Structure formats: C-alpha cells, structure tokens
C-alpha cells in the first residue's frame, strides 16, 4: 500500500512526466513567483533604521525579497546549469512561497482580520496561517544562515527581522537570536551556504554535477530539519483550516522527506513543472478525493497518494 502510493507520487511528480504534460518555457514571466519584479533586489532596498537593515517578514513582498537576495547572491555558483540563474536550486523556496500566496494559503484562515485578502491587506502574511509559520523556517532561517555563512560578504549593517503581532516567542529575529535559540538548525543552513562558497573559491568557478548533488543533499537536509522543528510548534494552527486542508498540509510535510531522499533538483523549471500537480486553491470541507471537480485528474491523484503515503508511513513507524 505504502509502496504503491510512493510509486504514484514519484511518477506523477517526476520532471519528465511533468514536462510531457506541461511544456513550460522558462523565459515566460509566469514562471516566477507573483510580484517577483517588485521584490527588493538588494539588502539595501530594505529600510535601514538605527544602523540595522529592518525586514518585515510578515509582508509577502519583503519575504519574497529575502528569497530574491538569496538567489541573486548565490547566482555565481550555478552558471554551469543554465543562464539567468535558472539552475539555482534555491528556486524551490520562493516558488513554493509564491504558490502559497497565489492560492490564499498565507491569508488569515480564521477570518478575524483582513490580512492576506484582496479586500483587505493583500500583501499581509498572517501569523495565524499554518503555511506562513512553517514557511518562516524555510525563509528567514535559511536567510540568516546565509548571512552567518558570509554569502553577502561583510555587511555594513546588522539584520533585524520584525516580529509578528502574535506568537512572538515562536520565532527568532536576528543571527544572534536564532543562533542562541536554534543552533543546530542554523548550523545546517549555514553548512549549505558554506559549501557553495567553499567550492566556488577553493576549487573552481562553478559547481559540477557531483558538487550539485552534494549541494542538494545539504540543502534538503536543512529543509527537512526546518520542517521537523516547525511542525510540532505550529500544530495548533491547523485548527483554523478545513479538515481536508489540514490533512493536506501534514501529508505534504511528510512527503517532503521522501522527495528529499531523491535529491530532487529544485531549479526554476523543474520546480515549476512539479507545482502544476499541487492544488491551486485551499481545500474546503466538502472536497472529497479523488473527485474534486475543479482539480485536474493528476492533482486529485497526487493528493490522494500523498495521504496514502502519510498513512503508510505512520502505520509502519
């Protein structure tokens, strides 16, 4: 049962299958996350106050800017794998964030505030959103790990992340703060960026395929560690979601372990062809798999398979 589910997920999410079903030209603008062109290009595009670069990670455009800075500063390591930084394996992070924004998963699911809604503050990222809190550990923590590793060189200013209005104790806000609270997680992200820097400066100008596999291993190791740390912390946020959406969130978090084991390449084109199989809206209470009418057969099948994989994983321990 578990093997059958894993096979379906693996085949459905393979780049070859995805490309066959949806040939996507990487030069098209819609391959980028929403509002990518408007996100801050450099660290000095963020506000500077009291000798600190201040980033509001609870604003979609600014959190996207964190990713954009990571992509821009690591571009030189990936020139072997295509032009315009398309081969950079960090693309999976902002593209996932863009998918979350586009599908409404960063908005306030409790509907108490207008955070994240078109008739309210569309760019607001709600701290009540399970997806946004999980994503914090795949945005801010990698970013601060990169700062600590020296990806941005010697910075003129310290970096400070603004806290949300609620749950302030569930996050950290600077290199020193995160280093003191979650040293092992910071170590894993720092190690990924240090390998980038080491290979570039010591051995050669760009990665080879063998180096890329090692980079993927370290990136996925850190990615899994972020999810493993955040998952129990934000378990209570699932109560704001419908049962199908909450189940999908947990199923997705479980599936990442299996995807990571394959050293799946999260470059721009591969991630885009992969994401066509993910639901393009939030799941409602009345959504029943595998017959959600406004989802493609592949989306229905993948959602069903992710659930089966999660169940099999729990049953087998």
Rounded mean pLDDT, 4-26:
48
Rounded mean pLDDT, 157-179:
97
Structural contact between residues 79 and 262, judged by C-beta atoms closer than 8 angstroms:
no
State residue 208's pLDDT score: 63
Structural contact between residues 8 and 301, judged by C-beta atoms closer than 8 angstroms:
yes
| CA 30/CA 24 separation, integer angstroms | 10
CA distances from 312 to 8, 62, 193, 258 (A): 14, 39, 34, 13
Residue 266 has pLDDT above 70, yes or no: yes
DSSP secondary structure letters along 9-50: HHHHT-HHHHHHH----TTSGGGSPTTGGGS-SSGGGS-EET
More confident residue, 226 or 197: 226
Would you tell me how many other CB atoms lie within 10 Å of the CB of residue 296?
14
| CA 265/CA 257 separation, integer angstroms | 14
More confident residue, 152 or 30: 152
pTM of the model: 0.90
More confident residue, 3 or 53: 53
What average pLDDT is seen over the chain? 89
Percentage of the chain modeled with pLDDT above 90:
79
Residue 20 has pLDDT above 60, yes or no: no
Q: Which of 6-10, 164-168, 271-275 has the lowest mean pLDDT?
A: 6-10
Give the domain ranges of the chain: 28-247+279-288
Structural contact between residues 244 and 287, judged by C-beta atoms closer than 8 angstroms:
yes
State residue 295's pLDDT score: 94
HEC sequence for 215-240: HHHHHHHHHHHHHHHHHHHCHHHHHH
* Chain segment 62-111, per-residue pLDDT in tens: 999 999 999 999 998 888 887 889 999 999 999 999 999 999 999 999 98
DSSP secondary structure letters along 294-314: TS-HHHHHHHHHHHHHHHHHH
Given pLDDT bands bounded at 50, 70 and 90, which one contains residue 14?
low
Structural contact between residues 65 and 55, judged by C-beta atoms closer than 8 angstroms:
yes
State residue 19's pLDDT score: 45
Rounded mean pLDDT, 209-217:
80
């Amino acid at each position: 049962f578990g093997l059958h589910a894993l096979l379906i997920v693996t085949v459905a999410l393979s780049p070859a299958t995805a490309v066959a079903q949806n040939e996507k030209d990487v030069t098209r603008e819609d391959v980028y996350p929403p509002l990518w062109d408007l996100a801050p290009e450099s660290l000095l595009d963020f506000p500077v106050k009291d000798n600190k670069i201040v980033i509001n990670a609870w604003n979609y455009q600014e959190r996207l800017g964190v990713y954009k800075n990571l992509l821009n500063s690591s571009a030189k390591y990936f020139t072997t794998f295509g032009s315009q930084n398309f081969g950079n394996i960090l693309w999976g992070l902002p593209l996932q964030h863009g998918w979350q924004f586009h599908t409404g998963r960063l908005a306030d699911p409790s509907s108490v505030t207008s955070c994240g809604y078109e008739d309210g503050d569309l760019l607001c990222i709600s701290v009540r959103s399970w997806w946004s809190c999980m994503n914090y550990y795949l945005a801010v923590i990698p970013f601060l790990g990169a700062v600590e590793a020296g990806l941005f060189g010697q910075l003129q200013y310290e970096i400070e992340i603004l806290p949300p209005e609620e749950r302030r104790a569930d996050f950290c806000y600077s290199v020193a703060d995160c280093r003191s609270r979650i040293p092992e997680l910071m170590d894993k992200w720092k190690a990924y960026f240090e390998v980038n820097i080491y290979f570039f400066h010591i051995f050669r100008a760009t990665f080879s395929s063998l180096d890329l596999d090692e980079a993927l291993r370290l990136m996925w190791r850190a990615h899994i560690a972020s999810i493993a740390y955040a998952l129990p912390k934000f378990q209570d946020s699932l109560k704001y979601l419908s049962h199908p959406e909450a189940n999908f969130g947990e199923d997705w978090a479980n599936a990442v372990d299996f995807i990571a084991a394959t050293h799946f390449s999260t470059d721009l084109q591969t991630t885009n062809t992969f994401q066509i199989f993910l639901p393009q809206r939030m799941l409602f209470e009345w959504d029943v798999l595998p017959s959600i009418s406004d989802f493609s057969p592949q989306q229905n099948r993948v959602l069903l398979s992710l659930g089966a994989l999660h169940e099999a994983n729990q049953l087998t321990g």
